[in-house]
Amino acid sequence: MLNLVEVQDEILARLDALLPIPLHEQAIPDSQTVVKSKGKIEPYAALQFGDLQDRVEGRGFGGVRSNDYELPIYIQVVSADTTKARKLASGVVLDALLGFSQSWTGEVRKKAGGSMWPIVNSNGATEAYLFPSSWAVTVQLHET
């Protein structure tokens, strides 16, 4: 088995340990999927991993299993308050991920993307705010 799942699990564990809010691995939240507690939106982070992307500059002669790959990481901080969402995303998430590395990876780096989005319900009223950020880490696949 390849080590990709271990790499993903370590990223999840790091964020779960360092964030002062709950972390959920879920699709990008919308008005139907946003996590609520007793009908109220409490701040939390949603995370998705993207599909591996082959890095052209990381190709070798050993075959595709020895290439370098990019693992996209997408995080959205959700809060009923715009300031709280921004501060958590721009402060705590940034500090927890930027430069993090583990066995068989490079350092997690920031990618372009992210600005405040409203999450609106069926009548058009804003329920919460979502502050997304994009990340990537270079992964070398290894059989465990």
pLDDT in tens, 50-108: 999 987 676 666 777 778 999 999 999 999 999 999 999 999 999 999 999 999 999 99
Give the domain CATH number at 67: 3.30.2000.10
> What gap in Å lies between CA 127 and CA 115, rounded to an integer?
17
SS3 109: strand
How many helices (H) and strands (E) would you count in the chain?
3, 7
Q: What is the pTM of this model?
A: 0.90
Domain count, the chain: 1
Per the CB < 8 A criterion, the answer to whether 142 and 49 are in contact is no
Q: What domain range includes position 112?
A: 4-140
Q: Terminal CA-to-CA distance of the chain, rounded, Å?
A: 6
